[in-house]
C-alpha cells in the first residue's frame, strides 16, 4: 500500500483517559502527581485514579496539566534517560526536564561552538536551511494542488538578520497559499501564537510544539549538543538547534498533518474540540487527545528510503536529520536538509 493511501486511512478516534501511551511516548492531560514505585512510573489524578507505567516502555512524557513531579519520578527518569516535556496553558512548549547526558561528546560540542563563532559559516548553513524550507513549502503546496507561483526565498544581504526578515516574508506568503487549501473555518490568516486567535492558528501552534518536543526527545539518542544552534540565537533555557532543524520539517510533517486532519473532518471547528479563553481559541482536552494520538501514528508512519534500502518512519527521519547535521560539524558530509513530502 502506498504511503498516500495509508495516510488517507491513518486517523482514528482515540480511547480517552488521563494517560495516553503511544509508541513509548506518554501524554498526560489531567492534573495530578507523577511519582515512582520502584521501576514503575505512577500517575495519580485528582480523583485518585492510578495508572502504572513500566519504565522499560517509556521514551518520554508530555505533560499538559497541572502536575506535581516527585523526586522519585525524576530519579527514575534520570536513570533510564526519559525526557519530561512541559506544555503551557496555550498548548505551547515550556521546557524539558533533561536527564544527565548519555551520549555526550565534548569534542563535538567544541566543534559546534566553533561553527557558531564563525559568522560566515553560520550564514552559509542558514542559507542552506532556508532553501530547504522553501523547497518543502513548494512541495507541500504542489502535493495538494496549491499555488506555488513566485514563492521564493530572497534575502537582501548575507546577514542572519536579513535571512530572518526574508524568511518571515516567505512564511507570510506561504501561509496565505496554505489558507487556500484549508476549509474556511480553519484558515490561518495572520500567524498568531499566544494566544492563537483562531482554529487554524491553534492547530499550528500545538503541532509545532509537538514537533519541537520530538526533536528534543530524538536528540537524546545522539551526541549532538542541541543548545548550540547556527541560525537561531542560543538563548538561555531553550534547545536552539532543535528550533533550527525542526523548521525544515514543519511543511511536510505539521502542515501536511493538519491539512489531512481538517479535510477528513477529524478535527471539528466547534466546542467539541476547542474552547475560547479570553481572546484566544485553544484545543480542549478532547481535542488535544485526538490530535496527539493521530500525531503519534503519523510519526510512526514509514515509507521506503532509497538510500538506506528499508522503510523509515517520520520519527526516525527526525533523528537522522540530527545525525546529518553532526556529519557537517565533523567535516564528513555537507548538511542537506530533508526533502518532504517524499511521495
Q: What is the DSSP string of 33-53?
A: EEEEETTEEEEEETT--EEEE
80 and 117 together in one domain: no
Range from 12-26, 43-57, 319-333 that averages highest in pLDDT? 319-333
Length of the chain: 343
Domain boundary among 97, 127, 153: 97
| Domain encompassing residue 227 | 106-330
| Residues 181 and 234 reside in one and the same domain | yes
Higher model confidence: residue 158 or residue 126?
Answer: 126
In whole angstroms, give the CA distance from residue 245 to residue 251: 12
265 and 200 in a single domain? The answer is yes
Whole-angstrom distance, CA of residue 299 vs CA of residue 253: 8
Would the pLDDT of 2 be above 60? no
Going from the C-alpha of 334 to that of each of 255, 307, 323, 330, the distances in angstroms are 27, 16, 12, 10
Starting at the edge strand that comes first in sequence, how are the strands of the sheet with 25-28 ordered?
A: 19-22, 25-28, 60-63, 83-87, 93-97
- Residue 159 and residue 74 share a domain: no
Report if residue 279 sits inside a domain: yes
Q: Judge if 113 and 251 occupy the same domain.
A: yes
340 assigned to some structural domain: no
The CATH number of whichever domain residue 7 belongs to comes to 3.100.10.20
Specify the number of domains making up the chain.
Answer: 2
Q: Is 87 found in the same domain as 116?
A: no
- Whether 90 and 157 map to the same domain: the answer is no
pLDDT mean across residues, the chain: 87
In a domain, 40, yes or no: yes
Asked, for residue 261, whether it belongs to a domain, the answer is yes
What pLDDT digit, counting tens, does each position of 242-298 carry? 999 999 999 999 999 999 999 999 999 999 999 888 788 999 989 999 999 999 999
pTM: 0.85
Q: What is the pLDDT of residues 63-92, one digit of tens each?
A: 987 889 999 999 999 888 888 999 887 778
Residues 166 and 262 reside in one and the same domain: yes
Considering the domain architecture, whether residues 40 and 138 belong to the same structural domain is answered as: no
Residue 143, pLDDT above cutoff 80: yes
Pairing state between β 93-97 and 83-87: antiparallel
pLDDT digits (tens, 9 = 90+) for 130-139: 999 999 999 9
Regarding predicted confidence, which is higher, 188 or 21?
A: 188
Q: Do 192 and 73 belong together in one domain? A: no
Domain presence at residue 202: yes
Q: Count H helices, E strands: the chain?
A: 10, 13
Same domain, 227 and 89: no
How many other C-beta atoms are found inside a 10 Å radius of the C-beta of residue 102?
Answer: 11
Amino acid at each position: 500500500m502506498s504511503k498516500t493511501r495509508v495516510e488517507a486511512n491513518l486517523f482514528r478516534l482515540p480511547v480517552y483517559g488521563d494517560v495516553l501511551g503511544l509508541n513509548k511516548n506518554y501524554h498526560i492531560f489531567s492534573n495530578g502527581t507523577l511519582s515512582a514505585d520502584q521501576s514503575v512510573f505512577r500517575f495519580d489524578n485528582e480523583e485518585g485514579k492510578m495508572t502504572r507505567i513500566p519504565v522499560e516502555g517509556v521514551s518520554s512524557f508530555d505533560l499538559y496539566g497541572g502536575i506535581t513531579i516527585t523526586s522519585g519520578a525524576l530519579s527514575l527518569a534520570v536513570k533510564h534517560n526519559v525526557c519530561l516535556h512541559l506544555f503551557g496553558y496555550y498548548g505551547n512548549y515550556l521546557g524539558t526536564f533533561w536527564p544527565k547526558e548519555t551520549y555526550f561528546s565534548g569534542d563535538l560540542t567544541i566543534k559546534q561552538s566553533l561553527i557558531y563563532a564563525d559568522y560566515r559559516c553560520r550564514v552559509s548553513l542558514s542559507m542552506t536551511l532556508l532553501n530547504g524550507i522553501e523547497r518543502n513549502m513548494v512541495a507541500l503546496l504542489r502535493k495538494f494542488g496549491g499555488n506555488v507561483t513566485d514563492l521564493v526565498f530572497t534575502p537582501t544581504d548575507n546577514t542572519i538578520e536579513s535571512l530572518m526578515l526574508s524568511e518571515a516574508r516567505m512564511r507570510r506568503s506561504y501561509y496565505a497559499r496554505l489558507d487556500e487549501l484549508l476549509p474556511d473555518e480553519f484558515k490561518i490568516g495572520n500567524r498568531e501564537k499566544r494566544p492563537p486567535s483562531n482554529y487554524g492558528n491553534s492547530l499550528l501552534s500545538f503541532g509545532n510544539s509537538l514537533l519541537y518536543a520530538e526533536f528534543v526527545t530524538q536528540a537524546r539518542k545522539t551526541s549532538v549538543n542541541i543548545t548550540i544552534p547556527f541560525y537561531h540565537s542560543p538563548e538561555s533555557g531553550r534547545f536552539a538547534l532543535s528550533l533550527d532543524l525542526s523548521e525544515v520539517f514543519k511543511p511536510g510533517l505539521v502542515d501536511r498533518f493538519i491539512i489531512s486532519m481538517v479535510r477528513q473532518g477529524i478535527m471539528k471547528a466547534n466546542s467539541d474540540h476547542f474552547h475560547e479563553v479570553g481572546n484566544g481559541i485553544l484545543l480542549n482536552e478532547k481535542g488535544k487527545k485526538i490530535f496527539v494520538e493521530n500525531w503519534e501514528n503519523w510519526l510512526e508512519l514509514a515509507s521506503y528510503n532509497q538510500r538506506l534500502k528499508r522503510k523509515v518512519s517520520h520519527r526516525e527521519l527526525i533523528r537522522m536529520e540530527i545525525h546529518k547535521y553532526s556529519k557537517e560539524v565533523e567535516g564528513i558530509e555537507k548538511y542537506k536538509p530533508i526533502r518532504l513530502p517524499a511521495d
